[in-house]
Structure 1
Amino acid sequence: MLLSSQLFADKNANRVHLRWLPYVASLDDLGRYSWGSAALAWLYRCLCRGTNRNVVNLAGLLQLLQSWIFWRFPCLRPSDFNRFGFPLASRWAQYLPRNDAVDQRVVAARLCLDRLRVHDIVWEPYSTPDVAAVVHPEILLDQHRRLWTAVTSLIYFAAIEWHQVDRVMPQFGGVQHLPRLALNIDWLHAKDGRGGDRWFPSYYREWHEHWQDRHASVLPVDRVADPGPSAEYLDWWCRVAHRFLSPEVAFQDPRPIVLTEEARHRGSSQAPPMVQSIGIPKLK
């Protein structure tokens, strides 16, 4: 149930796929598998599917997605959840989001993202002393931290995703320069494991080799005191990106509105004389 309803949650309710049986046959071997990379691959795939306008439900490890958002975007974070332990996602375990006024909350979230400033993003939330005090020390060993910046494939059975950390360097304390062209894996998104009896490590041999050689794909990070995008990157991003989620009317300030020409003409005629109302005393 942990696999099918948490780490790799799908839309099959409480049913578990038979493909998991070989992996749980020996509990002693569970530690040999990279569960984190597989869960991330499945979450990426579910997020891609969620962009389809016909999709109404989202699968995947949504607790991880929620925790990632709350740790890095304080404007989206619920209040009164300041205490935390390990695992870090447990900080929001008691959070119960409202299920009313969905449209208004979507509008508010979009405006929050559109109005983000440079210092409204916490690039490295896990580097603070408070977090380091509760995280298992083995996680922070250099041999593990280096793999965080590996540009490699993430594999979950037939789901193959690409770990393009070269596009999010500030999350690792670096400066974001102009990125390389994104790897087009649209054809892989059309694969879901159906349509034939295939042994995935053989059918996707090239992608499995990328994963096996992940130590050779680690990006060096020149850490800086103030991580973020470079000026060159911002100039490029402003030219090519869809900058805002909200409609333009959401950003209009009514105060500096200039009078229209029609209003000028309407106000150019002489004002009529005011008629004194009977029974109202005059001001002295």
Structure 2
Amino acid sequence: MPYLKLAGFEDVALIRRFDLRVNLISALVEQWCTVIHTFIMPCVECTITLEDVTIQLGNGEQNFTCLTLAWLRVNFKKLSSTATKHKVICAARAYIMQLIGGGVLMPNNTSNRVHLKYLPLLEDFSRAGSYSWGSIVLAILYHELCRATKHGMGHVSENWCEPNISHLPLNDRGFLWMSYSAPNIATLIPQWVHTEAHVWCINTPMLNFSTVEWNNDSRVMQKFGCRQFVPVEPQQFADVHDKTMRGKHTIDWNVEHQLYVALWNAWYEK
């Protein structure tokens, strides 16, 4: 569908669900450091980066703040071959909303609802295609990892320089960086994926409405084939890290987080 391509969701639509290794995820959560947003391994720090999100993707409140995925599926299940342009556009928006909330990009705790806050972003497909959806996905992933460690679903030692992850499988070199350079993988990656590679290893805030998470890719320069220098002190968020959208539906988050928006724009435009 041309509208999916225009909005930047053409490749995301090809993603399929797969079985998750819960034991491995739990082990990784235990090593997540909420201060520096990296997994602390015995030999190295590592993290999910914007490169990973780009290559992998190609890119519950009430009071009617959410749409159920079941409602979207029922009401936009079939599209007639004679459908008008307006109906095709509505169907494309409904499908993208399912990709966002249906366990593919940005699911909530129950994975059966998608928040209406994303719908206005799809009003203009050409504009939607210019948004950094990858950084939004990464911000949510970081936020969920921090929430998991905070609420006891994982444990990170206060002394994060001395982690204990003997139960995690590592290769004989200590750690295997997934650089996507293996011939059988590299041939599957379209060249356009690399057009925004200049933002993959920057230190910048990533925003998703109320959520602000810091991208500290300067701590994992080896992933990008660079020499690792001594990382700078991690950014501190004060009370921003715990802000939610609950009871704040009228807040303009672009204004509320204008400092972080400015920092993102400054890094992106370099």
TM bucket, shorter chain: 0.5 to 0.7
Secondary structure class of the residue paired with 2:140: helix
Q: Does the aligned pair in 1 maintain the 2:170–2:176 contact within 8 Å?
A: no
Please state if 1:123 is matched with 2:177.
yes
Partner of 1:111: 166
Q: Which runs of structure 2 are paired with 1:9-20 in the superposition (5 Å)?
A: 9-20=107-118
Runs of 5+ consecutive residues of structure 1 not aligned to the other structure = 57-108, 218-284
1:46 aligns with 2:144: yes
| Count of aligned positions | 162
TM-score by length of 1: 0.51
Q: Which runs of 5+ in 2 are unaligned?
A: 1-97, 155-163
Following superposition, the deviation at residue 176 of structure 1 comes to 1.9
Residue 24 of structure 1 is aligned with which of 122, 125, 129?
122
Using the alignment, how far apart are the partners of 2:186 and 2:144 within structure 1? 30
User: In the alignment, what sits opposite 2:229?
Assistant: 177
* Larger relative contact order, structure 1 or 2 (CA cutoff 8 Å, min sep 6): 2
The percentage of counterpart residues that share the same residue type is: 29
- 2:205 is the alignment partner of 1:205: no
Deviations 1:144-181 (A, max 9, x none): 11111121111111100111111111111122232111
Q: CA deviation at 1:112?
A: 3.9
- The residue that corresponds to 1:8 in the other structure is 106
SS in 2 for 1:127: coil
Deviation, 1:128, is 2.6
**Residues 22 and 171 (structure 1 numbering): CA distance in 2 closer, same or farther, change over 3 Å?**
same
Task: State the alpha-carbon separation in 1 of the partners of residues 140 and 165 from structure 2.
Answer: 25
- Who wins on radius of gyration, i.e. which is larger? 1
- 2:198 corresponds to: 146
Alignment deviations for residues 228-262 of structure 1 (CA, whole Å, 9 cap, x no partner): xxxxxxxxxxxxxxxxxxxxxxxxxxxxxxxxxxx
Deviation at 1:27, TM superposition (A): 3.6
Q: Please give the alpha-carbon distance, in whole angstroms, between the structure 1 residues aligned to 2:171 and 2:119.
A: 48
Question: Counterpart of 2:54?
Answer: none
Task: Report 1:1-284 matches (<5 A).
Answer: 1-5=98-102, 6-55=104-153, 110-113=165-168, 116=170, 119-141=173-195, 144-196=196-248, 197-215=250-268
TM-superposed deviation, 1:129 = 2.7
- The whole-number CA distance in structure 1 between the counterparts of 2:231 and 2:132 is 27
Q: In the aligned structure 2, how far is the partner of 1:123 from the partner of 1:147?
A: 19
CA RMSD in angstroms comes to: 2.4
Higher share in strand: 2
Which TM-score applies when normalising by structure 2? 0.54
The 1-side partners of 2:218 and 2:198 are apart by 13
Letter of the structure 1 residue corresponding to residue 210 of structure 2: A
Following the alignment from structure 2 to structure 1, what is the Cα–Cα distance between the partners of residues 268 and 128?
Answer: 22
Query: Relative to structure 1, is the Cα distance of residues 206 and 112 closer, same or farther in structure 2, using a 3 angstrom cutoff?
Result: same
Give the aligned residue type for 2:145. L
Q: 1:126 to 1:117 in 2, by over 3 A?
A: closer
In structure 2, what is the Cα distance between the partners aligned to 1:26 and 1:146?
26
